[in-house]
Amino acid sequence: LSRIENILPFHKGFRSLVDDVVTSAVSDCFNHDATVYKEKINFKFPKGKGFTAHQDQPAYVSFGIKRLITTMVPVDDNTSLSGGLEFVYNRAERVIMEQNLDG
């Protein structure tokens, strides 16, 4: 098991976190009403591999989504030792990068 998707209809606590905290914060930060398109929980076990660097946006363009904001709520330390999320430094261009064959 590496992830769970589509849990909002089935878990009141997670639904409340997403609706009351995450969606509200994103809407406030970007001055635009946010809508959850997809939610998931990724599990990363000790000594497990992480995900290769990628952009989420290309996967949603074909669905007609023009603006995408990806949010993450870590429940453990998010460090280089734990395999935390990394960002590209000083890259302000709004371009979709070439995709690797594996997505």
The span from the CA of 93 to the CA of 12, in Å, is 38
Under 8 Å between Cβ of 88 and 55: no
Q: Is residue 67 part of a domain?
A: no
Residue whose entry in the numeric block shows the structure tokens 């074909």: 62
Q: Average pLDDT per run of 10 along the chain, which is 103 residues long?
A: 89 94 92 89 78 73 79 82 73 68 62
Q: What total number of domains does the chain contain?
A: 1
Q: Is residue 32 part of a domain?
A: yes
Containing domain of residue 37, as a range?
3-47
Q: Is residue 57 part of a domain?
A: no
Radius of gyration from C-alpha coordinates of the chain: 15
| pLDDT given at position 81 | 75
Q: Is residue 102 part of a domain?
A: no
Q: Is residue 66 part of a domain?
A: no
Q: Is residue 70 part of a domain?
A: no
Q: Is residue 8 part of a domain?
A: yes
pTM of the model: 0.66
Q: Is residue 54 part of a domain?
A: no
- Give Cα 64 distance to the centre of its chain: 18
